[in-house]
A and B are shown apart, each in its own frame.
Chain A
């Protein structure tokens, strides 16, 4: 149990997926201009990452590894993610239209979000068991949600500021991300008491 808390806290704060490990930077910078869309994207990522972790675990340990096909992991995982995203999209469209209209346009983007493939590969690398994998996937997604929400709030504020022309748009967002990243560095070296 303690073990799971440690995994969770390190994925969210100490090794924040976006600000420390740089997974998922494209959507982090691309869809963080408004906090409402940022939260929508973040939620969709949490959902997909949790499910991806749950599905890739048995795929690797019960199918690829026993057959000696570890070298197919990248291709197998990306196919799983692409299919999963497609299924989630169809499912939401049919049964929860409200959620679909909120998340819908972000779902296809998630296939190419490297945080999702990244978490699947890291679960295998770190040799996590099934529950640890799912917790890690969920927490890494929450870390992404936290980071993209924080950046989007900063960017909403900045839209009122008089920013030098060359810095408008992407560059100032990157500099804001740099400052966020510096503040997250404070969590590094955080020794959990268990």
Chain B
């Protein structure tokens, strides 16, 4: 009888001890999260922000644009920012898009001028094969520099990097979508 009671209390102690361990660990994580979460959030915002600044070097600020996208566009376009100059005048738009490359998605920010041509293209993240597909995404490389100044009809004429056809096509796809969205944006006047 007493033996049975003993067993009962033993079994009860297992979950209690586990709960103690779990709550101690969770407490520790809550503390560390409190210390790092702001920094992590600002890091992420900083990355896209610095990419936008590299495209529009004269801009003093960027503000989020709320624009009605079509269902098709929503799949690839995530954010649109308006680049503003010193007098709060509009310089152009920065459009975050994804194109599909060889190994997965390529996230880009495409800067578009007020005349609807490309101001610059920045690669945010990609999973292309290092040394092969990634060559097409090199900063100031053969592909990305071709887009500067291109209008929507000229994008298809951009020549792909040899050996990186899929990656190049992924970037072209992203840029075309961005230019299409920007064209509508400019027409409807935001």
Do residues B102 and A188 form an inter-chain contact, with CB atoms below 8 A?
yes
A residues in contact with B166, CB < 8 Å: 189, 191
Do residues A188 and B33 form an inter-chain contact, with CB atoms below 8 A?
no
A residues in contact with B22, CB < 8 Å: 79
Do residues A71 and B102 form an inter-chain contact, with CB atoms below 8 A?
no
Closest B residue to A189 by beta carbon equals B102
* B17 smallest CB distance to A (angstroms): 15
**Among A79, A189, A191, residue most surrounded by chain B Cβ atoms (within 10 Å):** A189
Closest B residue to A14 by beta carbon equals B103
Residue from the list A71, A79, A189 in contact with B29, Cβ < 8 A: A71
A residues in contact with B103, CB < 8 Å: 188
Q: Could you tell me the distance between the alpha carbons of A189 and B37 in the complex, rounded to whole angstroms?
A: 37
- Count of chain A residues with a beta carbon within 8 Å of a chain B beta carbon: 8
Does A72 sit within 8 A of B, measured CB to CB? yes
Does B20 sit within 8 A of A, measured CB to CB? no
Q: Could you tell me the distance between the alpha carbons of A11 and B1 in the complex, rounded to whole angstroms?
A: 56
Does A2 sit within 8 A of B, measured CB to CB? no
Do residues B102 and A75 form an inter-chain contact, with CB atoms below 8 A?
no
Q: Could you tell me the distance between the alpha carbons of A89 and B44 in the complex, rounded to whole angstroms?
A: 42
Closest A residue to B102 by beta carbon equals A189
What's the dominant secondary structure at chain B's contact region?
helix
Q: Could you tell me the distance between the alpha carbons of A78 and B128 in the complex, rounded to whole angstroms?
A: 30
Does B26 sit within 8 A of A, measured CB to CB? yes
Q: Could you tell me the distance between the alpha carbons of A79 and B104 in the complex, rounded to whole angstroms?
A: 30
A residues in contact with B26, CB < 8 Å: 72, 75
Closest A residue to B26 by beta carbon equals A72
* B166 smallest CB distance to A (angstroms): 6
Q: Could you tell me the distance between the alpha carbons of A116 and B93 in the complex, rounded to whole angstroms?
A: 42
Does B16 sit within 8 A of A, measured CB to CB? no
Does B25 sit within 8 A of A, measured CB to CB? yes
* A79 smallest CB distance to B (angstroms): 8
**Interface 1/0 per residue, B153-190 and A, CB below 8 Å:** 00000000000001000000000000000000000000
* B92 smallest CB distance to A (angstroms): 29
Q: Could you tell me the distance between the alpha carbons of A15 and B127 in the complex, rounded to whole angstroms?
A: 12
Q: Could you tell me the distance between the alpha carbons of A71 and B25 in the complex, rounded to whole angstroms?
A: 12
Residue from the list B29, B37, B104, B129 in contact with A75, Cβ < 8 A: B29
Extra 7 A-B pairs, beta carbons < 8 Å, given A75-B29, A189-B166: A71-B33, A71-B37, A75-B25, A79-B22, A188-B103, A188-B129, A189-B102
A residues with a Cβ closer than 8 A to B are: 15, 71-72, 75, 79, 188-189, 191
Give the 8 A-B residue pairs with the shortest CB-CB distance, closest first: A71-B33, A189-B102, A189-B166, A71-B29, A72-B29, A188-B102, A72-B26, A188-B103
Interchain residue pairs with CB less than 8 A apart (16): A15-B104, A71-B29, A71-B33, A71-B37, A72-B26, A72-B29, A75-B25, A75-B26, A75-B29, A79-B22, A188-B102, A188-B103, A188-B129, A189-B102, A189-B166, A191-B166
